[in-house]
Structure 1
Amino acid sequence: MLSDLIKFNKRWSESIARQDPTYFETLSESQAPEYLWIGCSDSRVPAESILGLKPGELFVHRNVANQIQVDDNNSMSVLQFAVTALKVKHIIVCGHSGCGGINASLNRAGTDYLEGWLKPIVQIADENQAVLDAIEDESERVFELARMNVRYQIELLKHHPIVNEAWAAGSELNLHGWMFDICTGQLEDLKVSCSEN
């Protein structure tokens, strides 16, 4: 029930305040995260938890299938704020196993808003149809398309004006592409990291 969530929050905040009486006061003063996490909205991929980070250490943007779309004001606002105002040093794009958005893209199962949102991933699937068809296991096929999507997002970011302007100004901004395997709880580095175009 929702009231249980409010009760939990009260116990949690009181517990934190007992451990560190200045915690919330300090937290409320400002944020200076080094990382921007671009991840999926999937409830099984809690960014701070899997990275061992506390509130204030990770700036987070989540959407279906962890995408950056240039015509999405939300994505662009997050990217601009993270890079220009917060001066994050790392942007992590993280996909995951068993992604419903990737599965819908692979099986052309999107409807209404979802269909339009997933269009770039459907295009990735179409361009790599032979590779994906060669993978017999459905869950591994979804995982591989999720990897392809992360690589694609990194390529978009590498050529994005916000990122390029930061690099031109001498920013130490780094891009990283990762995957999270829900079955093991482990992260996989896709080895597409870069610090300049």
Structure 2
Amino acid sequence: MDKINKYIKNNKLWAAKMTKDDPEYFKNIAKSQHPELLWIGCSDSRVPAEIIVGAAPGEMFIHRNIANQVIATDFNFLSVLQYAVTVLKVKHIIVCGHYGCGGIQAALQKQKPNLLVTNKWLMHIKNTYRLYQNEVDVFETEEERVNKLVEINTIEQVHAVSHSLVVQESWDKHGGPIIHGWVYGLADGLVKELITLGPGHQIDPIYQYEPQE
């Protein structure tokens, strides 16, 4: 409880500071949100989205899960994506993985009998590894293999975002958003840009949606 009480105290101090700096701050931010960016990141506690890019409250719409997965049957993610693109009309979507990701590391190991639900989630990463196994296994150390799969996984999730109907329709009608694939370095705090997709990117026909008549 000491930790919880500390957080409550910190919250009061933070709220007081924000009000002192700008008496209208909370009144204004409570009216509505207009973020220009959707962040799809890992749940890892060491990768707080707003902090690592210096964003203020209200600037980013955020979705996080283990190993920043974009899964076509995940209605939690799909609802976030649809709301961000269709209602908030974000201009950018960032999929951000991170080196040393525990989810990626676990996916490269045998399934754990005490993590039945987590095993199912990691299966998507295992499938990606199977497709890129030659590129990953060329590295000698586990750390190198994990970090290579982190990059591959991030790129694959960027493509998965582009395969969604909501993004393809928005590209066609509104010319956005732009999708970015980043990897964050725990050891240096820096972001590495891997891939950028936007309107005009040629999606494989099997992932394209037919225009409605």
TM-score, normalization: structure 1?
0.96
Q: Aligned residue for 2:59?
A: 57
Q: CA deviation at 1:154?
A: 1.0
Q: 1:122 and 2:126 equivalent?
A: yes
Once the two structures are superposed, what CA deviation does each residue of 1:73-125 show, in whole Å capped at 9, x if it has no partner?
A: 10000000000000000000000011111001111345211111111110111
Written as runs of structure 1 = structure 2, the 5 A alignment for 1:1-197 is 1-110=3-112, 111-190=115-194, 192-196=195-199, 197=201
Distance in 1 between the 2:61 and 2:191 partners? Answer: 18
8 Å CA contact 1:89, 1:172 repeated in 2: yes
Distance in 2 between the 1:54 and 1:159 partners? Answer: 30
Once the two structures are superposed, what CA deviation does each residue of 1:138-163 show, in whole Å capped at 9, x if it has no partner?
A: 11211110111111111111121010
8 Å CA contact 1:35, 1:59 repeated in 2: yes
3-state secondary structure, aligned to 2:179: strand
8 Å CA contact 1:16, 1:23 repeated in 2: yes
State the aligned residue count: 196
CA gap of 1:35–1:154, structure 2 versus 1, over 3 A, is same
Once the two structures are superposed, what CA deviation does each residue of 1:43-77 show, in whole Å capped at 9, x if it has no partner?
A: 00011011110000011000000011111110000
Distance in 1 between the 2:184 and 2:102 partners? Answer: 14
Distance in 2 between the 1:68 and 1:30 partners? Answer: 27
Q: Which has the larger radius of gyration?
A: 2
3-state secondary structure, aligned to 1:169: helix
3-state secondary structure, aligned to 1:30: coil
Amino acid at match of 1:165: E
3-state secondary structure, aligned to 2:77: helix
8 Å CA contact 1:108, 1:122 repeated in 2: no
Distance in 1 between the 2:110 and 2:95 partners? Answer: 23
Counting aligned pairs with the same residue, the percent is 44
Q: CA deviation at 1:126?
A: 1.2
Distance in 1 between the 2:83 and 2:174 partners? Answer: 17
Q: CA deviation at 1:13?
A: 0.2
TM-score, normalization: structure 2?
0.89
Structure 1: give runs of 5+ residues left out of the alignment.
none
Runs of 4+ in structure 1 over 6 Å off: none
Distance in 2 between the 1:170 and 1:37 partners? Answer: 20
8 Å CA contact 1:32, 1:57 repeated in 2: yes
